[in-house]
Amino acid sequence: MGWRHLLFENWPVDPAVVDAHVPDALTVDEHDGRAWLSVVPFTNVAVRPAGLPEWGGFRLPELNLRTYVTRDGEPGVYFFSLDAEGLLGVLGARLFQHLPYYYARVSLTGDGDDGVRFVSRRRHPGARPAVYAATYRPVGPGFEAREDPLARFLVERYRFYTEAPDGTLRYADIDHDPWTLYPATADVRTNTLFAANGFERPDATPTRYYSPGLDVTASPSKVWER
């Protein structure tokens, strides 16, 4: 798949706040003594099984709320929710990757130069409502995320962890080039993701990054057996 036009909005929070919401098998990862919650709107392009040509893939605009965790010293991402436009993609990710995807109506227009306009409204039956609407753009020169300690902590993650319905801890590995990021600004008109996931809205000002994107390969979901 390809991830395009990403905004990383990142809030520092008390680790205890996050720890109450992650599985017991995972440890909240901290940077400078703080846990982090991140809202990430973007679009997937050419989503497809390995081996299929790019033209056989589909577009999947997406919005997620995530945090950062470890298991036996192995760092990764833990998703609280992922809202996406494609119904088949949502069902497939829930079934095969055990990810908490929700069907939503999502639009993404524009680009990094003129501003990306992103709107997501959850339409998943029985789920808590969640709405996010923002316009975002880069505002400074690009830099390599690996060279900035906070940016490296937040985006250079190559694994995500999930909990299956039976309580089994699972994970998938992610392969992509290192991130190039840009400082970003965002006009966020609505964001109810925190409330939808049982969090109070953080008081801190978020750190924001923009990326035009990169190409990504995800492994199948695996049971953690160590």
- For the stretch 148-158, pLDDT in tens is 999 999 999 99
* Rounded percentage of the chain residues whose pLDDT exceeds 90: 73
Confidence of residue 181 (pLDDT cuts 50, 70, 90): very high
Which of the 8 DSSP states describes residue 224? Answer: -
- For the stretch 133-142, pLDDT in tens is 999 999 999 9
Place of tokens 């753009």: 137
How far does CA 47 lie from the centroid of its chain? 16
Domain ranges, ordered by start, for the chain: 2-223
pTM: 0.91
- For the stretch 215-225, pLDDT in tens is 988 888 899 87
Within a 10 A sphere around the Cβ of 31, how many other Cβ atoms? 15
Mean pLDDT of 119-133: 94
Contact 79, 64 (CB under 8 A): yes
* Rounded percentage of the chain residues whose pLDDT exceeds 70: 88
What is the C-alpha to C-alpha distance for residues 160 and 79, in angstroms, rounded to an integer?
8
Say whether domain 2-223 belongs to CATH 2.40.400: yes
